[in-house]
Amino acid sequence: MADAVERYLRDLGLDVDEDDAGAKVGSTMGNLYCRVEPHANGGTPLFLCAHLDTVPPTGPIEPVVEDGVVRNAAGTILGADNKSAVAVMLEATRRIVAENRPHAGIELVFTPKEEVGLLGAAAFDHARLHARVGYVYDQAAPIGDVILGAPYSHSMEVRFHGRAAHSGMYPEDGRSAIAAAARAIADLRLGRIDEETTANVGTIHGGTAGNIVPEWCTFLAEARSHDERKLADVVQEMLDAISFAAGLEDCEVETEVHKSYRGYRFKRDDDVVRIAHAALERSGFTPSYGLSGGAADANVFNEHGLRCLNLANGMQDIHTPDERIAVDDLEHMVGVTLAIVDVAREHAA
C-alpha cells in the first residue's frame, strides 16, 4: 500500500518521503508525507490523513462492484477502512494538481498501525506540518456525519500469580490464578457503563495443564470515556476489584495501566468544524453532529495541539466480511474534499 501510494503521488509530480517510524512501531512502512505547495495567497492550509493498514483479512482481497457497491468477493474484509479514504484523498489531489486548482496549502499524511493503537500517527513528527487544521475520513456512517469528539482510553494488562499443585492429589496446596482472574472479571462493570463510558476484557490466558492448579493467568482490559475524570474513576474501580479478588484467592497480582490515547471535543463554532460544515452543504449534504466511541488518528493530532476532525465517508460494516462502500459515496467524498479545499482557501487562517 505504501509503495502504491508513493508511486501515485510521484506520478503526479509530487515529492513524497517516508519517515523512520516503521522500525519504531513494528511496521514494514513508515509514515508517508507529501506537501502540495500553496497556489493562492491567504486562506487556511490543510492536512489530510488516512491510515494504510487494515484489520487482518482471513482470505484474499478481491474487490468487485455489484449494483454500484464495492464489496470483497472473497468473503473477508474489504479494507474500505481506511483505503476508501486513501483513494478519495489521492483522487482529490490528482484533480487539484491537474486543474491547477487554487488552494492555501495541502499536506497528506498516510500512517501505518492505526488499527492496533494509532501507532504510526503517534510516531509522526507533527512539527513537520505547516497546517494546523486537518481531516481524517474514518467513521463508518453516512456522509454528513461530523464527529465532534472521541473518547479517552486506558489499557490494562493484569497478571495473577498463584501456586501450582496437582489438582487431584494436592489441590489444597494450590492457589488458582484463573479463579482469581475469574472472580475479578465477574466483579467488573463491563460493556456500556453510561452514555459516555465503556469497559471491556478482551483476552484471557492461563494455566499449564488440565490437572495442575493454574499458577498464572493474564487478561487484557480497557476502559474508555468521553469524560477524563470518569475514566480515572472507572480505572480505579477496576484496580480495586482486581486487588480484592487476588486477596480472596490468596494470589499476587501485577497490573500495568497505560494511556492508549487522549480524547477530544470540538465546538460547532471551531474553525475546523465550520469549514467542514460549509463544505458539506456546498456538496449537497446536511451536516449532523455526534460523538464516536472509537478512536482515530485524529485523537493523536489533536493531542499534539492541532485541530483534526473526523468525517464519516459512507463505509458500512467495517471489520466484517460484509464491509462495503458505494461508488457514489467515493465520488461524493472527492467532491467534499475539493469543497473543503475551496472553503479553506476562502477562510482566514
The active-site residue, picked from 53, 145, 215, 329, is 53
Sign of the four-CA dihedral 123, 275, 295, 63: negative
Rounded to whole angstroms, the Cα distance separating 45 from 345 reads 8
The active-site residue, picked from 6, 81, 107, 114, is 114
Exposure string for 19-37, b = 16+ CB within 10 A, e = fewer: bebbeebebebbbbbbbbe
- Identify any residues that bridge with 326 across adjacent strands, giving them in sequence order: 69
In a 3-state reduction of DSSP, which class is residue 181?
Answer: helix
Rounded to whole angstroms, the Cα distance separating 331 from 92 reads 10
Q: Is 250 a catalytic residue?
A: no
Nearest to 51 by CA among 19, 23, 86, 78: 86
Q: Is 53 a catalytic residue?
A: yes
Q: Is 103 exposed, middle or buried (0-12, 13-18, 19+ CB in 10 A)?
A: buried
Helix 271-282, helix 327-346: angle, nearest 10 = 130
> Is the CB of residue 36 less than 8 Å from the CB of residue 106?
yes
What DSSP letter does each residue of 60-90 carry, written as one string? Answer: ---EEEETTEEEETTSS---HHHHHHHHHHH
Rounded to whole angstroms, the Cα distance separating 188 from 280 reads 42
The gap between the terminal CA atoms of the chain, to the nearest Å, is 33
Nearest to 134 by CA among 300, 252, 318: 300
Active site residues: 53, 114
